[in-house]
Amino acid sequence: MPDIAQRTGKGRADLKALYNKYGIFCVMLLILATASGISPAFLTRTNIINVLTQISVVTIVACGITMLIIEGMTDLSAGSVVALAGCLCVGTNKALAAGGMGAAPAFALALGCAVLVGVAVNLAGALIIARYDAPPFIVTLAAMQVARGLVYIYTNGQQIYDIGRIAAIGQGRIGMVPYSVLIMAAILAASWVILRKTRFGRYIYAIGGNKAAAVASGIKVNPVIVKTFAIHGVFVGVAGVLYMTRLNSGQPAEGVGLEFDAITAAIIGGTSMAGGLGTIAGTICGSVIIGVVNNILNLLFVQAYYQQIIKGLIIVLAVILDIKTKGKRS
């Protein structure tokens, strides 16, 4: 009898490990198959490119948030910072072009401003978190309010139109592939390399898994936290540029709730809210799942209000699944 119980327990553990490793990929394939069966328009080339374009901004933000959650951190300011960085980018480019600067240097300076503001906001929050051991939830919540206020001050609450040729960043393409999808792929690759192939990535996992043990092993925790937030700031700045150039305008009210979509993508993809666990491959699967669900609901003409309810339920299910498969860790 003990042997049977041991084999049963081992079998369950093996199944759980198998699900943790490959389950999200199976879920994604199942949802893709279901979506293709529900709507014949889903598998058209135009629609697939549209889905990839639609998830590009969320996925880029989710890459940084995945790193933060693995590290035991989080960020609630991403949507507001995306709006600030994007509006600053298109506004700066418009002003420089009006002043007679060439297109290329104007683009470079505008992009630099967007990335700089993304890094600056995240660094400010990271330094407070590291220096005072402040809760990331509270610090980034405050940063969300500050960034949203700054973008309204910068734009005077008005939308920025006639942004010029910089709109090609969000709307252009090479052949059939939009620039936004190529940029998303590049950031996914860079994030995967950081987490899986560098010592810095191993430090991120170690800190999220057990901060006290990481300190005892000689890892300088605070510098790693600050650097992770800085990397996330770069991603958020790039996401802001793609967002506003895709809209062909600077929209100070946009990006609300974007951070929650990114967090949802990470959680659905297997990143544990307890820290220490998660992969970029899982995050892109989570992002694709959200994008496909949104797309199929749109194809079925489901009202936006019902879509919000469905997305909320998805978050709850993802958290329950996270607890059931990975358990709680102190």
Q: Rounded distance, CA 236 to CA 229, Å?
A: 10
CA-closest candidate to residue 314, choices 274, 255, 276, 260: 260
Spatial neighbors of 44 by CB under 8 A, at least 6 apart, are: none
Q: In this structure, what token pair is assigned to residue 226?
A: 């600050």
Q: In this structure, what token pair is assigned to residue 86?
A: 């994007």
Give pLDDT, residue 205.
97
CA-closest candidate to residue 269, choices 248, 287, 252: 287
Q: Rounded distance, CA 74 to CA 140, Å?
A: 8
Q: pTM of this prediction?
A: 0.91
The tens place of each residue's pLDDT in the chain, 330 residues long, gives 556 655 555 556 555 666 666 678 888 888 888 888 888 888 888 999 999 999 999 999 999 999 999 999 999 999 999 999 999 999 999 999 999 999 899 999 999 999 999 999 999 999 999 999 999 999 999 999 999 999 999 999 999 999 999 999 999 999 899 999 999 999 999 999 999 999 999 999 999 999 999 999 999 999 999 999 999 999 999 999 999 999 999 999 999 989 999 998 998 898 988 899 999 999 999 999 999 988 888 888 888 888 888 878 877 877 777 676 655 444
Q: In this structure, what token pair is assigned to residue 329?
A: 């860790």
Give pLDDT, residue 330.
41
Check: CB of residue 166 under 8 Å from CB of residue 89: yes
DSSP secondary structure letter of residue 124: H
